[in-house]
Chains A and B, each alone.
Chain A
Amino acid sequence: MTTISEAPAAAQDGTARKLTYVKAFNEGLAQAMREDENVFVAGEDVAGYGGVFRMFDNLLDEFGPRRMIDTPISEAALVGLGVGAAARGLRPVVDLMFMDFIGVCLDQIVNQAAKMKYMFGGAVSVPLTITTASGAGLGAAAQHSQSLEAWLAHVPGLKVVMPCDAYTAKGLTVSAIRDDNPVVVMLNKVLLGSKSEVPEQIYGIPLGQAHTARQGSDVTVIALGRMVGEALAAADELAAEGIEVEVIDPRTVQPLDTETMIASVRRTNRALVVHEAVTFGGLGGEIAAQIQDAAFDYLDAPVLRIGAPFSPVPFSPVLEKAYVPDQARIVQGCRRLLERS
């Protein structure tokens, strides 16, 4: 059941093949660059080195140094360069390598990119794409493992996407680049090598549309990013017991497609939100609030949030494994929601 049910026609035509997450991203980016001359990439080690996660492999060869720009380690200037270039009509893709580094350039993202169109009375658009790798699970410790989507989703003017597999990594990246707003593409480090069916041709996945990754009738699990896979695995496990879990992948967390979630919860009457980010102040709280707001009378249990404990991401693998939510905790959570004496 761990399938992408709505891959475009190409998937059925046989032009889809299995690609890794990072290759799919790379392919989508390259195709978007071919599609639009105004797309360029800037960041630390994106050109000559191809990106520390090989996200930008071979792009320098095809697009040359004019469109593949290695920059100093200067995230504020880097994003600012993106903002200025975007305001002047280009479609920059700037790479922040690790999402944790966002702190050093948050002003450019939050006060400049996000607000420029609004504060300028609509006189400019900022079609800026910020790519960054997020998530724990690789022993990268607390400054290289965070999932900070809640910070960004809180800021009006920004869009935030969280691809959960290779298919969405490509489609969401293409849509982010084509979008006329600043979009942060939160790639997941652990998923970089994971494979799924990816059509060869360029395609976008609509921003702000959730995807029902699995249909079920008993409980709705809303999972962000890497947690989608964990939730699907949990759903498989629970299906063996006759519990049918509906898994919803928002794909875009800002704007958030709450309609799909709410419609689902109105059918299943139970909801669980799971994300890698710490539970406190995480999007689970926002999603839970929206559900209770629109589907209160359809709930048979309080909306359950599963996230990381309120601590920095630990280094030691044994601690990190205990820290990051996983299939087992989702299964437990579903059981708790469905518990009947």
Chain B
Amino acid sequence: MVHKAPRKSAAKITRQAASTVTHPASAQVIRDLHERMVRIRLFETEAGKLMEAGKLPGFLHLYVGQEAVAAGVMTALRDDDQITSTHRGHGHAVAKGVSFRHMYAELYGRVTGACLGRGGSMHINDVTLGMLGANGIVGAGIPIAVGAAFAARYKGEDSVAVTFFGDGATNIGAFHEAANMAAILRLPVIFICENNGYAEFTPQSKHMLITDVADRAASYGMPSVIVDGMDAVAVHHAAAEAVERARAGEGPMMIEAKTYRYYDHQGVKGLRHPYRSDAEVEEWKARDAIDLLEARALADGTATRAELDDTWQRTRDAIAEAIAYAEASPLPDTADLLLNVYSG
């Protein structure tokens, strides 16, 4: 059964159903989803403030608006499952459990950062948590996830690999090569397309003629599903089903999550020619994923307002502590300029 995405008519395509329209979810999943989404939201909004304050070098591609996708997928994964991410990777990292301290310190270019200050925003990783890195090259993480899935099967493990990418990345060759490779090798890879409607500043209608990226999966013999990317529970269920399939050795699957990027492609607010209307942004914000999940939790009694507020407050505190940690951290020593260029 196909979940119908908001504002997009995708129902015409028949795919394997991911879940029912009304997704049942345990209180634990709801609370887990909520906590991960709040952590992403606050991490990103604080990062945006730091950037606007001129405290962070380099680029910042904020994930705000898309939290339900990262949270929904990650709540369906184990720690030994691997993910590859994108230039907009903070949300995936936070959701996979990478520490605030390591992340902020990396944004600050400190030696205590996730990359020892060598990578920056677009390369945050934590291989102990299966986070095989954000990536500065659009689409480049997709084949790597295929390799990670290959390794899991080669070693006889039942872990899976999940690769996140945007709608724009599906126009790049590596996506198609990797999708076909994963399919022909029947590898446990889950392809998560976070369709936020824009390839940088170019709307989807101007960079592909199809409406649903998920259509592309069919050409590789890969099942796919479209989910409401603002519905964390829906994403969670779709991901859980795909993961189960992959673990069972049934090969890869694609999930297209229709979602939206609140901030600009880069930074908080673009200064250039407006490429989308305020009305469009407001329309999506009206269906904010965190608001939707909190409303549902309050409605079905999964959580109280106080509990939810407590989550926000605890997260704010943790973030403030992490930023202080980052700012107090030493800068890399220029004597170590050649550190880790090579192994051995």
Contact = CB atoms under 8 A, between A and B. Distances in A.
Interface string B328-342: 000000000001111
Contacts of B119: 118-121
Contacts of B184: 71-72
Contacts, number: 159
Interface in B216-252: none
Interface of A: 40, 66, 69, 71-72, 74-90, 92, 104, 107-108, 111-112, 116-127, 156-157, 159, 179-181, 255
Interface in B76-131: 82, 84, 113-119, 123, 125-127
B344 A181 contact: yes
Contacts of B149: 84
Given A78-B181, A83-B143, A120 B115 contact: yes
Contact of A118 (B150, B151, B152, B341): B341
Max chain B Cβ within 10 angstroms of own Cβ: one of A66, A79, A81, A86: A81
Interface in B124-152: 125-127, 132-133, 135-137, 140, 142-152
A180 B343 CA distance: 6
B123 A119 contact: yes
Contact of A108 (B82, B140, B151, B152): B140
A126 B127 CA distance: 13
A137 B33 CA distance: 62
Interface of B: 82, 84, 113-119, 123, 125-127, 132-133, 135-137, 140, 142-152, 154-155, 161, 173-174, 177-178, 180-181, 184-185, 339-344
Contact of A179 (B114, B151, B177, B344): B344
A89 B151 contact: yes
A276 B187 CA distance: 40
Nearest to B106: A121
Contacts of A81: 143, 146-147, 150, 181
A124 B128 CA distance: 10
Contacts of A87: 127, 132, 144, 147-148, 151
A80 B147 contact: yes
Nearest to A87: B132
A92 B143 CA distance: 14
A179 B145 CA distance: 22
A325 B132 CA distance: 45
A70 B214 CA distance: 27
Contacts of A116: 133
Given A66-B154, A80-B146, A117 B340 contact: yes
Nearest to A117: B340
Contact of B150 (A79, A85, A120, A156): A85
B143 A79 contact: yes
Contacts of A111: 136-137, 140
A117 B343 contact: yes
Contacts of B341: 117-118, 156-157
Contact of A71 (B118, B125, B137, B181): B181
Nearest to A71: B181
A72 B118 CA distance: 35
Contacts of A71: 181, 184-185
Contact of B127 (A74, A79, A82, A120): A120
6 contacts: A85-B151, A88-B151, A88-B152, A127-B343, A159-B342, A179-B344
A88 B148 contact: yes
Q: Nearest 3 pairs between A and B by C-beta?
A: A80-B143, A84-B147, A88-B151
Given A87-B127, A117-B343, A180-B343, A112 B181 contact: no
Contacts of B114: 121
Contacts of B150: 81, 84-85, 90
B185 to A, nearest CB: 7
